Amino acid sequence: MLNQYPIWKYLLIFFIVSFGFLYAAPNIYAPDPAVQISGESSATELDDRALSIASKALTEAGISFFGDEVRADGSSMLIRLTSQDDQLPAQQVIQRALGDGYIVALNLATTTPQWLADLGAESMKLGLDLRGGVHFLLEVDTDVAQEKQLEFYSKTIKRVLREEKIRGFIRQLDDGRIRGKFTTEELRDQASSKIRSEFSGELLHLSEDQEDGFYLYLSLSEAKASEIISYAVSQNLTTLRNRVNELGVAEPLVQQQGRNRIVVELPGIQDTAEAKRILGKTANLEFRLEAKHDAPRSSKEEFEFRSPDRFAGSAFLERDVVITGERVASAAAGFDPQTSQPEVNIRLDSEGGTMMHRVTRHNIKRRLGVLFIERKSRTRYEINEAGEEVVIKVPYDEKKIISLATIQSALGVQFRITGLDNPAEAAELALLLRAGALAAPIDFVEERTVGPSLGAENIQLGVASVQIGLALVAVFMVVYYRLFGVIAVVGLTVNLVLLIALMSIISATLTLPGIAGIVLTVGMAVDANVLIFARIREELRNGMTPQQAINSGYERAFVTIMDANITTLLVAVILYAVGTGPVKGFAVTLSLGIVTSMFTAIIGSRAIVNLIYGGRKVKKLAI
């Protein structure tokens, strides 16, 4: 008979609609403002003691909170606040109470019921223009970048002068200069000439005669200093973008501000403590050979050696570096199949592989150390002249040997790092190596929550206009198409629910342009219903029976609706492929909306019509 679906099709439609309502449900639960606490290292485990200290500090400061909790793995803890205005004061109070070694960051805590979370349902992410997020202002320590470049010059100059048999004493000074001391003026002039030819225009030369010798002072030229700063900021931008991408942050903003500052904005609900730790960690690796016992003190350095069982020892490594972490092309965390200890599998780029092979093939049976270098800071509180308390961060480098293994054969582009404390540390190290090393350390100058960039009032007006528009469309459809208009309104509602569910499932970020895409989708869904209902009316006027008119209306309108939606979908795909930011947000919602509107307008609404009219003798349709 006409206008009847088999039972399996009704069950399939019911399942899809129920699935949509289930996964759209988390969006009705607004998140709580919160502060998140984690260790400075991913290997740090938090316990009830740290939570007690934080809770006591908030109570003494008069900041209301509730729902404090520690994650099951002890990696972080979350304290929910009653007001978003208390987030920044709470962060400062807790940070001071816990001291260095902990990271306290702003966050939004989900309120989705646990049973929904267990099913994998989560709320849709909102962009900065709708929800706001967390704003970090980072400052690149360009002085360190210049010091590293001077260190390179110093080592190169020593090698060049040694090869040219120009005797002199080269030393890097703390004031950003390199000093060369020579016994004769002729040797100094020869050295200056050779350095000029080697580093043309990169170094400024200043000669000075003193009683104990002839001195040559070298400093960076203004052009070279600017180039180093520009490179450091540019490299850090790239690295930070890679780290944000590794964290899976949706629609982030990472851009330069001024000469040496970088702005990072993370919209919506994010693990901000983890983000802050990963973004700010200036960690790098240096691969050095273990120094020989009879090596002079000036050619080796002593470092603490940390093994999995946390045995505190020390070892001497050569000052010369084989390669650094900058030569790492890829890194992945894993486990040693024999010992089940965590490890990081590393693949070097071609130049790094060549350098590693050249050094290790001549040093078989010697030990190769992996030195982990991390920039940290100590917090100091002082009172300024105005009587205000100021926070001073004193940076320092922590260097530890994380692996010291005997070279059994010449190494190539692939090898592994063992000796890590736990899988979390291995995963973090692999992430940092994949994302790339920072060219210079960065400091957090500012951290704050960002309100919706369009303003809460404008957003409310925008949402209200959408609601009014939908209401007017619903009234028109019901008045003009009567019962069929009610069916269309039900279809529109289901369409919105399915669209929100899909965006939540794929973790798409909703921005204001995305809302425009939703509104356009609703309009297209209404248009599809209008085409179908107009065709049914036309067939009734041509003398068809109601059942024939319903069947003909849906069948003949299908081709027109399909053509219109396919062409729009192609445009949306092109927009997503070539667009960025807001354009992509619009394209995503439009693409998903086309799919859901096709389902609700053609299949969903017809299922309702079939339930009402199918298999019955109908003399007149309410249309």
Q: What is the CATH number of the domain that holds 205?
A: 3.30.70
8 A C-beta contact, residue 286 and residue 324? yes
Q: Are 189 and 205 in contact (CB under 8 A)?
A: no
pLDDT bracket for residue 607 (50, 70, 90): very high
CATH code for the domain of 479: 1.20.1640.10
Reported as a single tens digit per residue, the pLDDT across 274-331 is 667 667 666 677 899 999 988 888 888 999 886 554 555 889 999 888 988 778 888 8
Residue 269 included in any domain: no
Neighbours of 258 (CB within 10 A): 10
Which CATH number characterizes residue 341's domain?
A: 3.30.1360
Strands 65-70 and 76-81: what pairing? antiparallel
C-alpha to C-alpha distance for 252 and 243, rounded to whole angstroms: 11
Residue 254 within any structural domain of the chain:
no
* Residues 325 and 413 reside in one and the same domain: yes
User: Number of structural domains, the chain?
Assistant: 4
Question: Can you give the CATH number for the domain in which 48 is found?
Answer: 3.30.70.260
Strands 342-348 and 328-335, sheet pairing: antiparallel
293 in the same domain as 210 = no
CB count within 10 Å of CB 242 equals: 16
DSSP state for residue 621 in the 8-state scheme: -
Same-domain check for residues 88 and 103:
yes
Residue 82 corresponds to which tokens in the numbers above?
Answer: 């009653």
Task: State mean pLDDT over 241-250.
Answer: 69
On whether the CB atoms of residues 492 and 474 are closer than 8 A, the answer is: yes
CA 603 vs. chain centroid, Å, equals 40
Helix 185-198 / helix 142-163 crossing angle, nearest 10 deg? 120
Spell out the long-range contacts of 556-563 with Cβ–Cβ below 8 A and sequence spacing 24 or more: 557/528, 557/531, 557/532, 558/602, 560/531, 561/528, 561/531, 561/532, 561/598, 561/601, 561/602, 562/598
> Does residue 35 sit in the same domain as residue 21?
no
Structure-block tokens of residue 77: 């803890």
User: Is 158 a domain residue?
Assistant: yes
Cα(512)–Cα(426) distance, integer angstroms: 39
- Do 465 and 402 share a structural domain? no
Q: Do residues 86 and 147 share a domain?
A: no
* Of 73 and 412, more confident: 412
Structure tokens at 428: 């973090």
Question: Domain for residue 272, yes or no?
Answer: no
End-to-end CA distance of the chain: 22
50: which 2 tokens? 């740290």
Looking at the structure, tell me whether residues 410 and 484 fall in a common domain: no
Mean pLDDT to the nearest integer, 529-557: 89
Q: CA–CA distance from 537 to each of 2, 12, 490, 543, 546 (Å)? A: 17, 29, 20, 10, 9
427-455 b/e (C-beta count within 10 Å ≥ 16 → b) = bbbbbbbbbbbbbbbbbbeebebbebbee
The secondary element (H helix, E strand) that includes residue 159 is: helix 142-163
- Phi first, then psi: give them for residue 317, nearest 5 degrees: -115, 150
Q: Are residues 98 and 150 in the same domain?
A: no
Residue burial 7-31, b: 16+ Cβ < 10 Å; e: rest: eeeeeebeebbeebeebbbbbeeeb
C-alpha 591/C-alpha 596 separation (Å) is 9
Examine the pLDDT at 144 and tell me if it is beyond 80.
Answer: yes
Structure token pair of residue 69: 């909790």
Give dist(CA 560, CA 416) in Å, integer.
60
Count the Cβ atoms, other than its own, within 10 Å of residue 324.
Answer: 16
192-206 pLDDT tens trace? 999 998 888 899 999
Q: What is the pLDDT of residues 29-76, one digit of tens each?
A: 888 888 888 877 665 667 788 888 999 999 999 999 988 777 766 677
- Asked, for residue 481, whether it belongs to a domain, the answer is yes
What is the distance between the alpha carbons of residues 344 and 584, in angstroms, rounded to a whole number? 35
How many whole angstroms separate alpha carbon 333 and alpha carbon 425? Answer: 9
Q: Using only the alpha carbons of the chain, give its radius of gyration.
A: 33
Q: Assess whether 178 and 200 both reside in one domain.
A: yes
DSSP 290: B
Alpha-carbon gap, residue 195 to 198, rounded angstroms: 5
Entry pTM: 0.60
- What value does the mean pLDDT take over residues 323-344? 83
Residues spanned by the domain of 602: 7-25+455-613
End of a domain among 224, 255, 270? 224
Predicted local distance difference test score (pLDDT) of residue 309: 47
Distance CA 503, CA 19 (A): 13
pLDDT at 356 over 60: yes
Between the alpha carbon of residue 92 and those of residues 34, 95, 138, 385, 524, the distances in Å are 13, 5, 18, 21, 50
Same domain, 521 and 607: yes
Please state the length of the chain: 623
Q: Which residues contact 201 (CB under 8 A, 6 or more apart)?
A: 221, 223, 224
pLDDT, mean over the chain: 83
Q: Which residue, 374, 406, 424, sits at the end of a domain? A: 424
Say if residue 251's pLDDT is above 70.
no
Is residue 578 situated within a structural domain?
yes
Distance (Å, whole) CA 303 – CA 397: 12
2 pLDDT band, cuts 50/70/90, is confident
Nearest to 91 by CA among 72, 107, 75, 67: 107
Q: What is the pLDDT of residue 269?
A: 46
The verdict on 382 and 471 lying in the same domain is no
Assess if residue 263 is contained within a domain: no
Same domain, 157 and 293: no
Query: Does the residue 499 lie in any domain?
Result: yes
Q: Which of 408, 424, 440 is the last residue of a domain?
A: 424
Question: So what's the pLDDT on residue 459?
Answer: 64
The DSSP result for 32-94, as a single string, is: EEEEEEEESSTTPPP-HHHHHHHHHHHHHHT--EEEEEE-TTSSEEEEEES-GGGHHHHHHHH
Could you tell me how far CA 592 lies from the centroid of its own chain?
Answer: 24
